[in-house]
Amino acid sequence: MPMRKSWTWIGGFGPGAMLCAASARVGPARAAWWAVWDGERLHERSYRTSGPVTVSPDRVTVPGVLDLTVEPGRPWAVRTGAMWTRKRPARLRGTALGRPVELDGLIDESAGRHPRQMAWWWSAGAGALADGRAVTWNLVDGLHDGIDESERAVWIDGVPQHLPPQPFHGFAGVGDLRFSALATRARRENFGLIASDYEQPFGTFAGALPIAGELRAGWGVMERHRARW
C-alpha cells in the first residue's frame, strides 16, 4: 500500500514580491521549505525535517524570514480515490525578509495515499481581470484532474467556479494564459524509495481564463513535478 502523504503549501503573489512556504510529510519523512522573490532575486531554503518553518491555514512563520497572517477565502475541495485536496484563495499580510508585504495568494492542503509514482503540471495565481474584479486560479494536469470533478477552479471576487481541463504548454503557459518566469525554484533529490524532481518558477501571467475572461494583470507560479514516494 502506498505511504500516506500530506502537505500544506501557501503562496503569495504580486508585482513587487512573491513567496511560498510549505511543510510536507511522506510516511515518516518530513520536509519543509520557503522561498521569497524580492523583486530582484530569489531567496530560498529547504529542510529535510520540519525545520523552523511553521505553516498553517492562518499563519506562516520562518524566524528572520517570514511573519505572515493568512486570511483564507472560500474553499474548493475534491477527493480522488484515496487522495484529497482543498484549495483556498488567501490574503497574506506581514513581513518577508523584513519588508512589509500584502499579497493575494493560494492555500493548498493535500493528503492521502497517492500512487507510488506520479507526475503533474500545476499553476496557481492571482491578479485582476480586465473589468477590475479580483481573480485567483488553480489549474492542474495529472492530479485531481477529472473532467467533471477536479481541483481546477477560478475564484472571481472570492466566489469559486469549476473549470474545464486546460492544456499545459510547458512553462510557456496553460490554456489561454501566457507565462513569463521571473525566478525559478528547482530541486532534484533521490533517496532510493523516495525521489522528487521539480521546477517551480514565479512569474507573470497574461491572457484569459475560462469563465473569468481577460486578465489585466496576474502573478503566480507554474510547476512541473515528478515524484516517487
Provide block-wise average pLDDT over 10 residues at a time, the chain (229 residues).
94 98 94 97 95 96 98 98 98 98 98 96 98 98 97 98 98 98 93 86 98 98 96
pLDDT at 152: 98
pLDDT score of 193: 76
Query: What is the predicted pLDDT for the residue at 190?
Result: 84
CB atoms within 10 A of CB 113: 13
Q: What is the pLDDT of residue 192?
A: 73
Global confidence as pTM? 0.96
Residue 1's pLDDT is 81
CA distance 24 to 55: 10
Strands 54-56 and 173-174: unpaired
HEC letters along the chain: CCCCEEEEEEEEECCCCEEEEEEEEECCEEEEEEEEECCCCEEEEEECCCCCCEEECCEEEECCCEEEEEEECCCEEEEECCEEEEEEEEEEEEEECCEEEEEEEEEEEEEECCCCEEEEEEEEEEEEECCCCEEEEEEEECCCECCCCECCEEEECCEEEECCCCCECHHHEECCEEEEEEEEEEEEEECCCCEEEEEEEEEEEEEEECCCEEEEEEEEEEEEEEEEC
Looking at domain 5-228, which of 1.20.120, 3.30.70, 2.40.370, 2.40.10 is its CATH number?
2.40.370
Pairing of strands 42-47, 153-156: unpaired
Q: Report the distance separating Cα 152 and Cα 80, nearest Å.
A: 13
Q: Which three cell numbers stand for residue 226?
A: 515528478
Per-residue model confidence (pLDDT) at position 121: 98
